[in-house]
Amino acid sequence: MKLLRVKASHFKNCQDDTVIDLVAKSKKTTEDKEYELQEITEGLYVYSIGAFVGKNASGKTTALELLECCYDILGKFSLENKHYSYEGIKLEIIFFHEGYIYKYTTELKADPTLANRATFSNQHIYKKKYYKTKLSSLYTEDFVEQKDLGELPEDTASTFFVLKKKQVSAIFFGSDGMGADTYQMAFRLLKTYHIPDEMLSAIICIFDSNIQSIQMLDEHNYRVTICNQEKFLSDKELLYMLSSGTTKGIILYTLVVASLQQGFDLLIDEAEAHFHKTLVENMLSLYMDKKVNRHGATLLFSTHYCEVLDLFNRQDNIWVCQSSDKIAIKNMYESFEVRSGLLKSKRFYNNAFQTAVNYDELMNLKRKLMK
């Protein structure tokens, strides 16, 4: 299964009919096919990496949350424990599965009797065989509605009838990290995805070469070898001892390893938070290397670090987020004229995408401080 396109209305503060399309639209060079694109079936290319950029409060996190919502519907057949209201959200999710293109539509509702779980109404599933010759009408023609699929509880999406088995289709990692729970989560991932201990040691060395190993004794206590000395620390003591970058790096790179080895997509909010820029570039390189990314995982992230976009050869896997009364998520290739060969970071700093910090507001603050 691979998510292809999302269309949403009434999702948080997004414009109605917001679309995020993960299928390659512009010309596909040999170099692009080697690094930034992956062919999921003959002639159908999706992205290995994709970025959401914009200034603060522009909607970057919201864009990733919209994708996470759709991934949950495809992977878990449910939505729960989200911090936003489900009421009135309309979704159209198009995905590829076993040679077919599926279109799933629904309207979400909030039911106070189900705690924080969404209910699904007006559900419809449409299906068509994928043909390379009909790529231009990928989202429009020849869909046939699948009827009489069966009954499900109202808090379960009918995507169950297509995908059958719950599986991790994507994991979302927020910019705040996970605090003391980081280490417990990291070791849970190691166990769940059968990641060897030496892989954890390699991850730790990236962020703090003084630490030789971390071993979990129980849910809240660890044996740590640091500078060749053994210490026994609680998770809170470990959190205090390690830098925030090391703590976040351990869980994030463990997620990267799991994503690459299992083939599920990874959503990262503010990839550069707490990190040296080189590490962000390194993450991109892992997903763009087909010898490493052998199972078709996709890395989708938001960033303030515009220079990282200069590593992108393409433009259609970059979305610019803008916010006024509503959040607009615009594809760089479709909505802006950016000449190939021109550094994207320079375009950002020249405010070509209306993403610069408001200079007048900065000067207004300065004047107030000078009084």
Q: What is the pLDDT of residue 111?
A: 83
Instruction: Check residue 23 and report its DSSP letter.
Output: B
Residue 208: C-alpha distances to residues 224, 227, 238, 245, 258 (Å): 12, 10, 13, 9, 21
Rounded distance, CA 157 to CA 89, Å? 14
Contact 159, 75 (CB under 8 A): no
Which residue type sits at 299? L
- pTM of the complete model: 0.90
Q: What is the pLDDT of residue 248?
A: 86
What is the three-class DSSP state of 342? coil
What value, to the nearest 5°, has the Cα angle with vertex 168 and ends 164 and 170? 125
334: left (phi over 0), alpha (psi -120 to 50) or beta: alpha
The dihedral over CA atoms of 236, 240, 245, 248, expressed in degrees to the nearest 10, equals: 0
Q: What is the pLDDT of residue 340?
A: 65
Query: What domains lie within the chain, and their CATH numbers?
Result: 2-169+264-370 (3.40.50), 180-263 (no CATH)
User: What residue ranges of the chain have pLDDT lower than 50?
Assistant: none
Q: What are phi and psi of 329, to 5 degrees?
A: -115, 105
